[in-house]
Structure 1
Amino acid sequence: MKKPASIFIITAAVIALAFLLDIRFTKVIDWEESFDEKSNKPYGTSIFHKELKTIFKDQKLRTVYHTPSSYLYANSEMGHGEHVAKGNYIIIGHSNYIHYESVNALLSFAEAGNTVFISDYHLPQVMMDTLKLNVQYIFNEKDSTSALSFTDKRLESKNIDIDRNKGDYYFSEFDTHHHSILGHSRIDEKRVNFLGIPFGEGYIYLHLQPKVFTNYNLLKDNRYNYVNGLLSYLPQTDIYYDSYTKIYTSYGSDVEPKSDLGWFLEQTSFKWAWYMALLLTLLFMVFNAKRRQRVVKVIHPLQNTSVFFVKTISNLYFETQDHKNLIEKKMAYFLEHIRNDLKLDTSKLNDEFIIKLTEKSGKKKEQIAQLIQYISWLKSKNDFTETNLITLNKHIEAFYSK
């Protein structure tokens, strides 16, 4: 049989197999709470992000891909942005990673007569200290269902129950004279989970159940009504939506980072067409290489057994999904490096430590703050995911890079 004919037969067999199987594979549902506005997964926020244009008609929606401090400074009266930022700044999830400068930028934004809306389980500590707040957590002892309600009787029809919720965060301490109680969680023993706080000429709204903004809850029953009730407190003006994806630079433009191939790989038909093209290209290269290229003797380099041992141990931890053990070891080795090489005390990972590490390492303060705050957050967790491990590794690798 000639080689071109054999290539044709293999190609036909692959195509026939694809049609027989109908390229249907069982998809495992990812319940990770990413709050990513580009994600169509249950706990992504793509639907909410798209519907903002409908809720705030005739208003400009800008998605912010930089930190609040960078973006708001660039788009201020003294900045170099294309406009002056005024309106509503919305943050859904991951607000506890906002550094000191960004918290001050958001407070100044509200003080100037604008509105800041944050929905998250954990709020930035600097903001909580400034507004004199404290947040606690209570488990759902009976089931995983929580009742969310508004204080305003006119919004009573928008009260809902949400499932898949192990517990509720609530404000245990706040200024009862100046802070307005706008909502609660749990019917049996009401816990305040939604506050309205006047700040300067503007307003700050803090909400402790970001899960209601996800695709899963917006598409289930009439739970979208609760979100409409939350947004009814915001004025009809421009929206600045804080993106899950961040560009850590000093420039404040809201240009979206794009991937040329990412969208295609999310589409099943395009994805398998791409894989088919790669497979056929590989077959073409294999058959042509055998016909045209003479045999080249392979000389194997001496093997580095130390590197091989490290790879074997790391793969063992990774394949057994022991993320907790691996995360704890990476944090321990990193802090040991700080103690031995930089001669710093790592017992207290506070702002003073961040300043000292910045001076010793020569890195940017923002980069060091993100790394140390993420390590502190991981130390407070019991359960870890692969995403946590990858994020920690990226932060540490960025620290070691020149």
Structure 2
Amino acid sequence: MKKKEVKYGLALLSLFILLIVVEYNQPEPIDWSHTYSIEKKGPFASYGLFKLLPGYFKNSKLTTSRKTSFEIEKEYADSTYNYIIIGDEFNPSAEDIVAIKSILNKGNDVFIAASYFSKEAEDSLGFYTGAKFFRDLNLNSDSLYKKASDTIRLSFVAPYSDKHYNYKFENNHLVAVFDSLDKYPENRVLATTARGEPVMIHKRIGNGRLFLSSIPLAYTNYYFTQQSGKRFIEKSFNFLQPNRKILWDVYYHGEVVVSTNPLRFVLENNALRYSLYLTMLGAFLFVMFEGKRKQRIIPVIEPVTNNSLEFIKTVSNLYFSKGNHKNIADKKIVYFFDYVKNHYYIHASDPAFKDRLIAKSGLEEVKVNQLLKYIETTKSKSSLNGDDLIKLNNLLEDFFKNCR
């Protein structure tokens, strides 16, 4: 390898190592998206809560569900369980709503926390939510231009109150609260804001109970690590039935299923991902510039010509030119019987030669009789003319072409 190529190779390797070091020491950016993922440790994921959830539900089996409520209702038809759904939005299909009502009728508890509930879900399950922004807006003042409070203070109502303890959630804005309670008198308030606005309610449907919360972010890592948030979560889950299986939903909040791609770990790490891209680029450049031919072109050697066919044509022309048609016919007849013997295992001396040849060759009896009769006629003659030889050749060619 030339010195110039070595220099370029070392420069590329140095750049590769430098890129790995720089990317490896880059601080991991904080993911503030509302994922509610049980596998991520971002502020608004649910990794910590999910890991410590068995402490809230002792003697209960914890299971994650990536299926719709319709599928859950069918799969766990003979079980009793607490079904927990947490996400920014709850927008189930009509079949899923029917399934949730069926789950409740069978005596199971369902806990749903979301900032937005679809109109179909509200009408079918019997509740109503109102936007918190419009409730706070006073059109006769300049409140629209005032900075909204970024701290939410919640408390449970009697008989569930905790000695007037206020649960504080900083850096959070309440999107919706439960409204029109007079329209649904069966709905019972569990928790409210400092202004008395319901953020958590429950109702009985069939033999089960439905718990609804309009502050899903309270059940994420960010607030779970705070004392106030941890106590609020524990209080919320204390309403559910103990000693029951826990089904934790990861379907309705859109959690992405972990990829099975074998390169997933490499692609999710910035340093390794850029290293992979750089390696692929280096390999491409190597193929482009180093993959060229570095030796003389190998000359094409023509294969040795097979002269057997030419020899046969020469001998045949010699026989034909001398008019020795009888000799040529005898050789064709010998070749025919040799072919029959080797291909069909029939000897010419066999008494049933003709019958066996008809059966094995698959030719019509008329054609086989015509061929054998003409062979006998040819063998009995002392000489043949050109027409006789051509007729024999045509009969033999027809046999070889149509036999099996």
**Which interval holds the TM-score relative to the shorter structure?**
0.5 to 0.7
Structure with the greater alpha carbon radius of gyration = 2
**Aligned-partner residue type, residue 238 of structure 1:** K
Residue among 6, 9, 30 paired with 2:8: 6
Instruction: Report matched runs for 1:223-234 at 5 Å.
Output: 223-234=229-240
Count of residue pairs brought into register by the alignment: 274
* Contact 1:31–1:43 (Cα < 8 Å) also in 2: yes
- 1:170-209 to 2 correspondences below 5 Å: 170-174=177-181, 177-185=185-193, 187=194, 189-209=195-215
Q: Mark the CA change 1:207 to 1:95 in structure 2 (over 3 Å): closer, same or farther.
A: same
Q: Does 1:150 align with 2:149?
A: no
Q: Deviations over 1:335-368 (max 9, x none)?
A: xxxxxxxxxxxxxxxxxxxxxxxxxxxxxxxxxx
1:242 alignment partner, one of 249, 252, 268:
249
2:38 aligns to what? 37
8 A Cα contact 1:30 1:42, kept in partner: yes
Q: CA deviation at 1:166?
A: 3.2
- Percent identical residues: 21
Unaligned runs of 5+ in 2: 137-142, 294-404
* Distance in structure 1 (CA, Å) of the matches to 2:212 and 2:252: 22
Match of 2:365 in 1: none
Task: Indicate the residue corresponding to 2:167 in structure 1.
Answer: 160
Indicate yes or no: 2:217 matched with 1:211.
Answer: yes
Counterpart of 1:283 in structure 2 is: 282
Given that 1:137 and 1:168 are in contact with CA atoms closer than 8 Å, whether structure 2 keeps it comes out as yes
- What is the DSSP-based 3-state SS (H/G/I as helix, E as strand, rest coil) of the residue aligned with 1:173? coil
Question: Which residue matches 1:132?
Answer: 126
Q: Which AA in structure 2 matches 1:285?
A: F
Rounded to whole Å, the distance in 1 between the matches of 2:214 and 2:198 is 9
Amino acid across the alignment from 1:42: P
CA drift at 1:244: 4.2
Instruction: Give me the whole-angstrom Cα distance separating, in 2, the residues matched to 1:50 and 1:262.
Output: 26
In the TM superposition, what whole-angstrom CA distance separates every residue of 1:159-203 from its partner, at most 9, and x where no partner exists?
311122334422111356432221102x1x211111121111111
Cα deviation, residue 275, structure 1? 3.5
Please report the TM-score for the alignment, with normalisation by the length of structure 2.
0.60
Amino acid at match of 2:93: H
2:61 is the counterpart of 1:60 = yes
Q: TM-score, normalised by structure 1?
A: 0.61
Deviation at 1:94, TM superposition (A): 4.4
| Structure-2 separation of matches of 1:133 and 1:51 | 31
TM-superposed CA distance for 1:233, in Å, is: 0.5
**Shift in Å, 1:109:** 0.4
Deviation at 1:115, TM superposition (A): 0.3
- 1-side partners of 2:126 and 2:79: how far apart? 27
Give the letter for the 1:275 counterpart.
Y
- TM-superposed CA distance for 1:287, in Å, is 1.8
Name the amino acid aligned to 1:235.
Answer: Q
| Partner-residue secondary structure (3-state), 1:14 | helix
Comparing 133-142 with 41-50, which one deviates more in the overlay?
133-142
Give the aligned partner of residue 220 of structure 1. 226
Q: Aligned in 2, Cα 1:9/1:53: closer, same or farther, shift over 3 Å? A: same
Whether contact under 8 Å (2:101, 2:125) holds in the other structure is no
For 1:169, the equivalent position in structure 2 comes to: 176
Checking the alignment, whether the CA contact within 8 Å between 1:197 and 1:204 is kept in structure 2 is yes
CA contact (8 A) 1:150 1:156 kept: no
Counterpart of 2:110 (choices 116, 134, 148) is 116
3-state SS of paired residue (1:275): helix
CA distance in 1, matches of 2:116, 2:241: 25
Q: Distance in 1 between matches of 2:74 and 2:220?
A: 30
One-letter identity of the residue aligned with 2:191: G
Alpha-carbon shift at residue 15 of structure 1 (Å): 1.1
Q: CA distance change for structure 1 residues 96 and 153 in 2, over 3 Å: closer, same or farther? A: closer
Q: Which amino acid aligns with 2:37?
A: D
Secondary structure of the residue aligned to 2:45 is coil
The one-letter amino acid paired with 2:246 is I
- The CA deviation at 1:133 is 1.8
Deviations 1:251-310 (A, max 9, x none): xxxxx6543347624874xx523532442343133123312247xxxxxxxxxxxxxxxx
Q: Distance in 2 between matches of 1:222 and 1:104?
A: 36
C-alpha distance in 2, partners of 1:260/1:200? 45
